[in-house]
Amino acid sequence: MDLVSLSGNLLFIAFLLYLVGTVFFAGSIKDKRAKEREKGTGPNKWAKTGIAITIAGFISQLGYFILRWIAAGHAPVSNLFEFTTFFGMSLVGAFIVIYFIYKTAVLGLFTLPIAMLLIGYAAMFPRDIAPLVPSLQSHWLHIHVTTAAMGQAILAISFAAGLLYLVKVIDHTKKSKESFWLEAVMFGLVCTLGFIFISTGFSASGYKADFSWVDKNNVESIAEYQLPPLVGPNQGESLTEGAMEPLVEMPGIINAKKLNTVIWSIMAGIVLYLLLRLILRKRISAALQPLTTKVNADLVDEIGYRSVLIGFPVFTLGALVFAMIWAQIAWTRFWGWDPKEVWALITFLFYAAYLHLRLSKGWHGKKSAWLGVIGFIIIMFNLIVVNLVIAGLHSYAGS
């Protein structure tokens, strides 16, 4: 087997191990004997197995990373797929460290699925190993991107902790703004899952539909759809025999293909969500709540805060300091107000605000948990929307 496919297999194994790990972390909560024992006796067998499997998964993913690095000759952090998988791996790494500090198995139940969603999402993008264009041929690429991703991953722990906290403390029996928004976040996660399912499904069936279309500058080009076209491009002409006709045609200013993917993801998300509701017979967050009864809310709050405190300097170093050094060398100026740079600044400012709010009384608990959630949304915005929609110098130009 060649290096590239071996590396791909290791990634797949890692993914499966994370899945199994999650199950064990869930089991650790249900463990009867653990319930009988007083809290403070440390993790039970289920949790210990869970963390062991998680570590095995992490090592497997590390193997993917190293082999791919050897195969490509450069650190695999140079396109959206590679970056996002690395982000997922760092998230697992950060969780492992936090686990050994705080011994909270439930956090795994929230972190690992997020990591899996990230990796699954990443896998939907082109996975070819690509050579580096001149501006990327620098050690600073590796240093900047890996540090930034690790910073983001540590910060993302505060998202997992925030979710956990909110699921635990919010009263799900009453209709309230907070329970609505928490469920909205859950729905967002389900949509990501929907995106993964639908993309995998159609690509497994080999679906393809090409259109020639005219963009807003009246330039003609080809759009390759991997999902059936619900919305078609401006003046689109189908080039594929028997492909379905788009229901609506978009104006040239809108990238119909991306919009089409978004619509499909939301539809798949709705279907999945409704299914889950049918099975669970309550909201997702309400269904998760029983799993969180044993956790100490203050401890989770503290984990959220500490992960921001630990992640903020790492993020600043990677996403701003190293980024500026590299930009000075590669683009002649350390800062150019490129959208990606601006969003890194926004992330920085946001977490600075988080830390300052935490200093003043009252911004603990729920409020700070919400901030953790919003922070992650900003990070994801920078990763997804800025890369795919607001294209700038840094655009990984996925499809």
Partner 1 sequence: MKEVICECGHHNPHGTVLCESCGKVLIEKDKDKKLLDMRYEGSARRSQTYNKTIIDKIWNFFSSVKVGVWLIVITLIASALGTIFPQEMYIPPVMPASEYYEDQYGWLGQLYYTLGFHNLYSSWWYLLLIASIGISIIIASLDRGIPLYRSLKTQRVTRHEGFLKRQRLFSVSEAGSEDQTFESVKEKLKAKRYRIREEDGNILAEKGRFSRWGPYVNHVGLIIFLIGGMLRFVPGMYVDEILWVREGETKVIPETDGQYYLENHEFILETYDKENSKEEFAAAIDDKGMVAKNFQSDVTLYKTKGETVHGETPQLEKVRDDSIRVNHPLKFEDLALYQVDYKLDELNQMTFALSNKETNEEYGDLTIDLYDPKDTYDLGNGYQVEIVSYFPDFEFDENSEPITKSRIPNNPAFVFKMFTPDKPEGEVSFVAIQQTIEPFTDNEYKMSFKAVETKDVTALTVRKDLTLWVLALGGFIFMIGVAQGSYWNHRRIWLRKVDGEVWMAGHTNKNWHGLKRDIASVIDGTDLNEPADQLDKKE
Does position 361 interact with ligand HEM (CB under 6 A)? The reply is no
Within 13 A of 13's CA, how many CA atoms are on the CB side?
18
Task: State the Cα–Cα distance between residues 165 and 366, nearest whole angstrom.
Answer: 7
What is the smallest separation between the CB atom of 40 and partner 1, expressed in angstroms? 10
Task: State the Cα–Cα distance between residues 33 and 9, nearest whole angstrom.
Answer: 37
Question: Given candidates 16, 254, 355, 357, which one binds ligand HEM under the rule CB under 6 A?
Answer: 355
Does position 43 interact with partner 1 (CB under 8 A)? The reply is no
Task: State the Cα–Cα distance between residues 349 and 382, nearest whole angstrom.
Answer: 14
- Return the range that interacts with partner 1 (CB under 8 A); candidates 41-49, 106-114, 170-178, 325-333: 325-333
Question: Given candidates 23, 299, 374, 384, which one binds partner 1 under the rule CB under 8 A?
Answer: 299
**What Cα–Cα distance (Å) separates residue 389 from each residue in 16, 146, 257?**
31, 23, 12
Within 13 A of 161's CA, how many CA atoms are on the CB side?
34
Quick note: the x/- pattern for ligand HEM over 199-228, rule CB under 6 A, is ------------------------------
Task: State the Cα–Cα distance between residues 348 and 123, nearest whole angstrom.
Answer: 28
Does position 129 interact with partner 1 (CB under 8 A)? The reply is yes
Task: State the Cα–Cα distance between residues 162 and 185, nearest whole angstrom.
Answer: 11
Question: Given candidates 55, 342, 374, 384, which one binds partner 1 under the rule CB under 8 A?
Answer: 342
Contacting residues for 306 by C-beta, under 8 A, at least 6 apart: none
247 binds, among partner 1, ligand HEM, none (CB under 5 to 8 A by kind): none
Token pair listed for 177 = 């703004």
| Residue numbers at the binding site for partner 1 (CB under 8 A) | 3-4, 71-73, 102, 126, 128-131, 133-135, 137-138, 216, 253, 298-299, 302, 305-306, 309-310, 312-313, 316-317, 320-321, 324, 328-330, 332-334, 336-339, 342-343, 345-346, 349-350, 352-353, 356-357, 359-361, 386, 390, 392
